[in-house]
Amino acid sequence: KQEVTQIPAALSVPEGENLVLNCSFTDSAIYNLQWFRQDPGKGLTSLLLIQSSQREQTSGRLNASLDKSSGRSTLYIAASQPGDSATYLCALISNFGNEKLTFGTGTRLTIIP
Amino acid sequence: KAGVTQTPRYLIKTRGQQVTLSCSPISGHRSVSWYQQTPGQGLQFLFEYFSETQRNKGNFPGRFSGRQFSNSRSEMNVSTLELGDSALYLCASSFQGRGTDTQYFGPGTRLTVL
């Protein structure tokens, strides 16, 4: 059974700093891995999608990497801003079973002005 | 393109009642998935519909059911509500629901069961 872990559960950093969020998974047989952000009480906003054949994706100040062999993905946020404060979730679709997203537990990020 | 829409946004029900939630996918998307989000269990997959057929199902009791219409809009029904059904219910749409597709989420329906 695929398990997805995000550590730490919460992170606070001063505005302007670069930061890395981590996502670990137990089974490397995946279709893709997607990073989302969720603002309190709201739905999920897709940030980046990395296909299993790719190593990284970039969008603006965000860069996501994928290392299937080690079962890890990271989301790098450059020059953090208060508006980046949210919960960040990674989710993946495995090659086997249902083609559903299996979510991590999320990292709650707070950017301190 | 308009995003995924969900109605209603908030619902308050009492135990034993039943509820129907609605999801309209992005135009052109044929796959709709439903997820339940609770503080204790996180995000859990309920089911996925594609071309009016339930294609995948998660580990939820039969009280949770759904359907999809010919225009790809989907409804989810929960019968005999329990306190533990209080959650944020999210739907997601994608082009075909393949593993290579990006999934786009709606704002969710917040269900409170009293």
For the stretch B5-15, pLDDT in tens is 999 999 999 99
From the CA of A102, how many Å to the nearest CA of chain B?
Answer: 8
Cβ-nearest to B107 among A31, A42, A105: A42
Tokens of B79: 């019968």
Comparing C-alpha atoms, which of A74, A89, A73, A76 is closest to residue A25? A73
**Inter-chain residue contact A95 with B92, CB threshold 8 Å:** no
Q: Residue A106: how many CA atoms within 13 Å on its side-chain side?
A: 21
Strand ranges in chain B using DSSP code E only, listed in sequence order: 5-7, 10-13, 19-24, 31-38, 42-50, 53-57, 64-68, 74-78, 87-94, 104-105, 109-113
Mean pLDDT (chain B) is 93
> What is the arithmetic mean of pLDDT over A13-42?
93
List the single best residue of B1, B105, B111 to mutate versus A (max A Cβ within 10 A): B105
Provide CB contacts within 8 A for A63, sequence distance 6+.
Answer: A56, A57, A75, A76, A78
**Inter-chain residue contact B43 with A31, CB threshold 8 Å:** no
Is the Cβ of B60 closer than 8 Å to some Cβ of chain A? no
**Inter-chain residue contact A98 with B88, CB threshold 8 Å:** no
CA nearest to B89 within chain A? A43
Give residue B86's pLDDT band: very low, low, confident or very high (50, 70, 90). Answer: very high
Residue A95 has pLDDT above 70, yes or no: no
Share of chain A above pLDDT 90, in %: 79
> What is the arithmetic mean of pLDDT over A67-80?
96
Residue A110 has pLDDT above 80, yes or no: yes
Mean pLDDT (chain A) is 93
Q: How far is CA A110 from the centre of its chain?
A: 15
The C-alpha angle A35, A104, B32, rounded to 5 degrees, equals 65
* Residue bearing the bigger pLDDT, A41 or B105: B105
Chain A, window 44-83: residues with a beta carbon less than 8 angstroms from a chain B beta carbon: 44-46, 49, 51
